[in-house]
Amino acid sequence: MNEIPRIDTVSPEMARLAQGVREALSDGMVERLAGTAGNALEVVDKLNEPDVKEGLLTLLDAVGNMQRTGVLQTVIDALYLVHAMRSAATDSMVDRAFAFIEHMANNLGTEDLATLAHEAKGAMEDAIDSCNIPGGGGGLLGTMRMLSQKETQEALRFMLSFSCSLKKRAIYLARSPAS
């Protein structure tokens, strides 16, 4: 082991301090200290890389802004909430949640439902366009003329039949035992 040079030129107090440190350090402590210093130099070297330095400065600026606006506490609270939920969740709760998600994805994520939704959207857009025709008379006589049209009567019959069928199904579901 190299000897630490004497520090006689500084002051007697510093010389005594250096001597005390020299006598107090064991070989193992010197090795750990050297390892820690090496690790610290690696970190400093990494921090001096332009990308890392720029990223850390951006992060520190963002943290400062979050602190000033109160967002930082909200983020911390959200992290505590996620941790509490994770800690409280049992395996069966997680299993049921994933089963529910899978069920919803299988039943609502079908091509038939997507086609139905697309066609319903198109029909609504067509209806909006046809209702926005300027000069389409209003009032009682305009309504009577509209009711006398074959398309209006068919649409009303369809809506009445649809609502009756929906009501029957709702009554059946209400009467059936809970599963």
Q: What is the pLDDT of residue 46?
A: 87
Q: Is residue 173 part of a domain?
A: yes
What average pLDDT does the chain have? 82
Q: What is the pLDDT of residues 36-89, one digit of tens each?
A: 888 888 888 888 888 988 998 999 999 999 999 999 999 999 999 988 888 887
Which comes out higher in pLDDT, residue 175 or 127?
175
Is residue 107 in some structural domain?
A: no
> Is 26 among the domain residues?
no
Picking from 2-11, 57-66, 126-135, 155-164, which range would have the lowest pLDDT averaged per residue?
2-11
pLDDT at 86: 82
- Annotate the chain with three-state secondary structure: CCCCCCCCCCCHHHHHHHHHHHHHCCHHHHHHHHHHHHHHHHHHHHHCCHHHHHHHHHHHHHHHHHHHHCHHHHHHHHHHHHHHHHHHCCHHHHHHHHHHHHHHHHHHCCHHHHHHHHHHHHHHHHHHHHHCCCCCCCHHHHHHHHHCCHHHHHHHHHHHHHHHHHHHHHHHHHHCCCC
Q: State which residues form the domain around 157.
A: 144-179
Domain count for the chain: 1
Look at residue 57 and tell me if it is in a domain: no
